[in-house]
Amino acid sequence: MQTISTPVKTWFEQDLNVSRETLDRLNHYADLVVKWQPRINIVGASTAEDVWGRHLQDSAQLWPYLQNIAATGKIVDFGSGAGFPGIVLAILGANNVTLMESNTKKTVFLMEAARVCGVLGQTEIARERIEAAAPRQADVITARAFAPLPKLLEMGQRHLKDGGHYVLLKGRAFEDELADARDAGWTFDVTTHASLVDPDGVVMILKGVGR
Ligand SMILES: C[S@@+](CC[C@H](N)C(=O)[O-])C[C@H]1O[C@@H](n2cnc3c(N)ncnc32)[C@H](O)[C@@H]1O
C-alpha cells in the first residue's frame, strides 16, 4: 500500500467525499503505478515516492470542475501516460473517458490499470497519435504535462464538439502560454484556479475557443 498523508486522505474523504470503495480503487491504482514504474518508467522515479500527492491528488483536483458533466458527457484525455488524469477521473465516476496515448507500453499499462480498477467499461484506451485519430466529439478535453497551449489547441479543436471546453493542469508558464495562444490567433474565455498541488500551477478552464 502506498503512503497517503493525512491531509491528502482528508481531502479525498471530506472535500471530494469519495466512498471507501473509491478510495480502495485509487489505492490499487497507486500500487500498480509504483509496481510498473521500474519496468516502463511511467512516472518520474522521484515522484513515485508520493504517488498519492503528486499524481492522484493533482489529477483528482479536476473533479469538481467536471462532476456536472461526468455522468453523461465525454471526456477526452490527451497524452494520458500512466493515466493522469484520465484513469483517476474514471475511478472518481466519469462514465465516458477516452485516454489518448501513442506509446504502446503505456497503453498496455492503461489497459491493466483500467481492468484492476474496475473502469474498463467506462474507458476507451486509444493507442493513437492525437493528430491522426478520428475526431472524438469531446464535451471536455483534459490534459496534464502534455503540450504548450497553442499546440494543444491546434490538436484539440478537431476533437472538441461545439460548445465543448478544456480543463487543463498547467504549470508556472501558464501566463506565457496564454499569451502565445492569443498571439497565434486563438480567442477564448479563460478562468484559472490555483493548483492544490503545484504552488506555481493552475487548473485552467478554456471556453468558447475559436480562431
Ligand atoms: C509528459 S507525458 C504526461 C503523461 C500524463 N498526462 C501525466 O501527467 O503523467 C506526455 C504523454 O503524452 C504522450 N503523447 C505525446 N504526444 C502524443 C501524441 N501526439 N498523441 C498521443 N499521445 C502523445 C506521450 O507518449 C506521453 O505519455
Prediction pTM value:
0.97
Is 131 known as a binding-site position?
Answer: yes
Per-residue pLDDT at 6 exceeds 90: yes
CA-nearest residue for atom 25, ligand 1, is 103
How far away, in angstroms, is 6 Cα from ligand 1 center? 30
ipTM of this complex: 0.99
CA-nearest residue for atom 16, ligand 1, is 79
Q: Hey, CA dihedral for 154, 124, 67, 60, is it positive or negative? A: negative
Which residue of 50, 89, 97, 101 sits with most ligand 1 atoms within 8 Å of its CB, as the best mutation to test the pocket?
Answer: 101
> Which atom belonging to ligand 1 lies closest to the Cα atom of 80?
6
Per-residue pLDDT at 39 exceeds 90: no
Does the Cβ of 170 fall within 6 Å of ligand 1?
A: no
- Is the CB of residue 130 less than 8 Å from the CB of residue 77? no
The overall average pLDDT reported for the chain is: 96
What was the pLDDT predicted at 111? 98
How far away, in angstroms, is 147 Cα from ligand 1 center? 8
Query: What's the pLDDT tens digit per position in 91-122?
Result: 999 999 999 999 999 999 999 999 999 999 99
Does the Cβ of 206 fall within 6 Å of ligand 1?
A: no
* Cell numbers placing 110: 492503461
Q: For the chain, what are the domain ranges?
A: 62-210
The fold of 62-210 is: Rossmann fold (3.40.50)
- Is the CB of residue 207 less than 8 Å from the CB of residue 187? no
- pLDDT mean over 159-183: 98
Three-state DSSP at 173 gives: coil
Is 130 known as a binding-site position?
Answer: yes
Q: Please tell me which residue, 44 or 154, carries the higher pLDDT value.
A: 154
Instruction: Classify residue 99 as exposed, middle or buried by CB count within 10 Å of its CB (0-12, 13-18, 19+).
Output: buried
* Cell numbers placing 99: 485516454
Per-residue pLDDT at 151 exceeds 90: yes
pLDDT confidence of 170, banded at 50, 70, 90? Answer: very high
Does the Cβ of 146 fall within 6 Å of ligand 1?
A: yes
Does the Cβ of 125 fall within 6 Å of ligand 1?
A: no
Does the Cβ of 27 fall within 6 Å of ligand 1?
A: no
Does the Cβ of 144 fall within 6 Å of ligand 1?
A: yes
